[in-house]
Amino acid sequence: MRILITAGPTREYLDDVRYLSNASSGRMGFALAEAILAAGIKLFWRAACLVDTTCWLRSPSSGNDRRSAVGLQSPVPRLRRVIATAAVCDYRPKSRFPGKLAKTGVSLELELVETADVLADLGRHKGARWIIGFALESDEYAHVNALKKLKHKNCDAIVLNRPTAIGAETNQIEVIDDAGSTVVSFAGTKLEVATQLWAWIEQSIVSRAGS
């Protein structure tokens, strides 16, 4: 069994130097990879930076890079098991300026457009694959918003966490299944949470899917 894990932020460039991004460290995705490797499962890596200077896999990519990486540029996407922890930017500059924009002494108006929804595209071409998504939500409607994402992206389950997880060593998550119920909750270091989450995925998703 081979599994794709996406992790960390993406970058959407304004010019050749500046970009929009987010504060995701990629720690949760890398913790999941560590837990899954410890269980003897092979991974297909497509991840962004770890924190600090451990950027040894790949520098943060754009949403379009992620789309290509997960096989959506081909007519039949090839990935059959996906855990999407990546924090993909929702918006990008409408136009990318060549070179480096210089100061002109006046304000710069920036028009943003939505990026492609990579996970939703995967869900639309789901076939026999299983997909676990992540949703970071901050308000009192967090569960409802996560459930909307689960349905829109056609995931088998979605992991709800909060902004306190960004860059932190610890995490607290809820796992929401395709019936809309919180089936399990885990808290602890990200590796502890990842280990428990993978155990649940094996028992509830992998066994059901048969792979």
For residue 105, being part of any structural domain is answered with: no
Domain count, the chain: 1
pLDDT at 128: 86
Residue 125 lies in a domain: yes
Residues β-bridged to residue 92: 113
Q: Looking at residue 40, what is its pLDDT?
A: 86
Q: What is the CATH number of the domain that holds 7?
A: 3.40.50.10300
Q: What is the pLDDT of residues 72-103, one digit of tens each?
A: 444 334 668 899 998 889 999 999 999 999 99
Flag whether pLDDT at 62 surpasses 60: no
Q: Rounded CA gap, 201 and 195, in Å?
A: 10
Which residues are CB-contacts of 131 (< 8 A; sequence separation ≥ 6)? 82, 83, 84, 119, 122, 123, 153, 154, 155, 156
Task: Give the pLDDT of residue 76.
Answer: 35
Q: Which residue range(s) make up the domain with 198?
A: 2-94+111-209
Q: Tell me: pLDDT of 49 over 50.
A: no
27 pLDDT above the threshold of 70: yes
Q: Which of 3-7, 17-21, 151-155, 195-199 has the lowest mean pLDDT?
A: 3-7
Averaged confidence pLDDT in the chain: 84
For residue 124, how many C-alpha atoms fall within 13 Å in the half-sphere facing its CB?
Answer: 8
